[in-house]
Amino acid sequence: MTDRPHNNDQEQLQRISELFIEAERAIKEIEDVGGELVVPAVNQLRYTGNHLVRYLSNPDDKEELRDAFKHCKRATYDAYEAAITYQLLEFKIFKDDYRKVQVSTVIPDYSNIKHVIGEARRFIRDNNESKTRGDFYKNGREYLQTITENVTKLNDNRDELNKLITNERRKLLFMVLGGLGAISAIISLLIHC
């Protein structure tokens, strides 16, 4: 599935069909994960349909096929962009939840994970030009897969991180109680002297 030039209308229609299915799959996946419909991606598929109907009414207008092809790629990109943005939000929540914890004690490759997630953030930020976003639809899938795996790994370690927090709180409580005990012993000695 390359973006090579198409020799005939049938090849181009086949490629549009493949991209349409891929975009639909991405939209459904995102809907399942985030619980919301990715409206920009759905709109791009709607535009694809409009161009295909125009082409069917005038098969000599090859520009309609090219436009349908572009909108399919854009729909896929928009779906992946929404999913990556969702995963970035999940990562932000994770960072906020464990901002006072040395996460690398539980997840040794945490700094690498942060780096990979930062690359996904830059991918979204750097491809903000609306006319060329569709050109990056393939990269979107790769970034989504990578960021999802890493955010899942972080969230899978929440129990261990929570244990770490609980142990730290226990230590602090014992230190405070020990300090209070020492202070009351000193006060008791001073009173009895």
Task: Give the pLDDT confidence of 116-136 residue by residue, as tens digits.
Answer: 999 999 988 887 665 566 667
| Radius of gyration, alpha carbons of the chain | 27
pLDDT tens digits for 139-151? 888 888 899 999 9
The model carries a pTM of 0.75
How much helix, strand and coil, in percent to the nearest 5, is found in the chain?
80, 0, 20
* Average pLDDT of the segment spanning 56-84: 91
| pLDDT, position 125 | 85
Residue-wise pLDDT for 94-104, tens only, equals 999 999 889 99
